[in-house]
Amino acid sequence: MKNRLKVLRAERDWTQADLANALQVSRQTANAIEKGKFDPSLPLAFKIARLFNLTVEDIFIDDEKT
Amino acid sequence: MNDIKHDDMDCTQQNKTQLLSLALWTLAWVASTALLRFGAEYIWDYHPAYSISALITHLALGFAMIMVNVKHLANLDELQRKITMDAMGITLGVGLIAGIAYEQLEDIKLITFEPEISHLIMIMGITYILSILIGNGKYK
């Protein structure tokens, strides 16, 4: 699943380690989600959305819709 | 730069602490296995009371190791848990398939020696390590 995490993170000048720490996941997991290699669970997706004050749909793009 | 909340102990540090704890309990269990096997032969000359004590210690340490492993799994993040659970599933499958096939080898006279459980444990150990490495490589 594609996402806008890299852009959102860059806008805030956060490193992947900062993001991983805020989400309480490993840097490997933050990196895998950002690269679209791993789809987060619904609770983690909502946690990411809350962190950026956005909705899940604002961050994650449904591949089947594109 | 927007401020971001930092925890005192991040996820990686927590995992390292838990892995160290798991390694120590596993080491204690392995030591108790050696004590159970070789203690009876070389230290207490198969005295039943000592052997039973060593067996109880061995089982108790094994149970503790399982509980530490369960706690370790529960504290992993979702990707790490997926990688670990995938590796465990593959290891269980390989262990079952290889174990049954290996056991049959003697029955169908393809090998002349009796199959050893230690060989199966080695195969499972190698399978688990390889599965973890491949899993981690996949999500790098």
Q: What are B103-127's pLDDT values in tens digits?
A: 999 889 899 888 999 999 999 999 9
In the block, tokens 């983690």 appear at A44
Instruction: Please give the Cα distance from B41 to B47 (Å, whole number).
Output: 9
**ipTM of the prediction:** 0.90
- Domain-embedded: residue B8: no
In a domain, B6, yes or no: no
Q: What is the pLDDT of residue B17?
A: 87
Last residue of a domain, one of B75, B90, B119: B75
Instruction: Give the model's confidence band at B32: pLDDT under 50 very low, under 70 low, under 90 confident, else very high.
Output: very high
Q: How many CB atoms lie within 10 A of CB B85?
A: 13
Which chain A residues are Cβ-neighbours of B16 within 8 angstroms? none
Does B1 score more than 60 pLDDT? no
CB contact under 8 A, A21 and B77: no
Mean pLDDT of B14-19: 83
- Domain co-membership, B85 together with B120: yes
Q: Which residues of A touch B8 (CB under 8 A)?
A: none
Alpha helix positions (H), chain A: 5-11, 16-23, 27-34, 42-51, 56-59
Q: What percent of chain B has pLDDT over 90?
A: 80
| B38, B84: one domain | no
Residue B5 at interface with chain A, using a CB cutoff of 8 Å:
yes
Under an 8 A CB cutoff, do A22 and B5 touch? yes
| pLDDT, position B10 | 67
> Structure tokens of B49?
């009371």
Domains of chain A: residue spans and CATH? 2-59 (1.10.260.40)
Boundary of a domain, candidates B59, B75, B91: B75
Q: How far off is chain B from A33, nearest CA to CA, in Å?
A: 9
- Whether residues B61 and B40 share a domain: the answer is yes
Is there a domain that residue B138 lies in? Answer: yes
Q: How many angstroms separate the CA atoms of B105 and A59, rounded?
A: 55
What's the number of domains chain B is made of?
2
Find the closest chain A residue to B8 by CA distance: A21
* CB pair distance less than 8 Å for B140 and A44: no
Mean pLDDT, chain A, integer: 94
Q: Which residue of A has its CA nearest to B76?
A: A25
- Sequence-ordered list of residues with C-beta below 8 angstroms from that of A9, at least 6 positions apart, any chain: A15, A16, A18, A19, A34
Domain termination site, one of B51, B75, B99 = B75
Instruction: Kindly state the average pLDDT of the residues B59-78.
Output: 95
- Residue-number span of the structural domain to which B86 is assigned: 77-140
* pLDDT, mean of residues B2-17: 66
Whether B88 and B138 share a structural domain: yes
> From the CA atom positions of chain B, what is the Rg in Å?
20
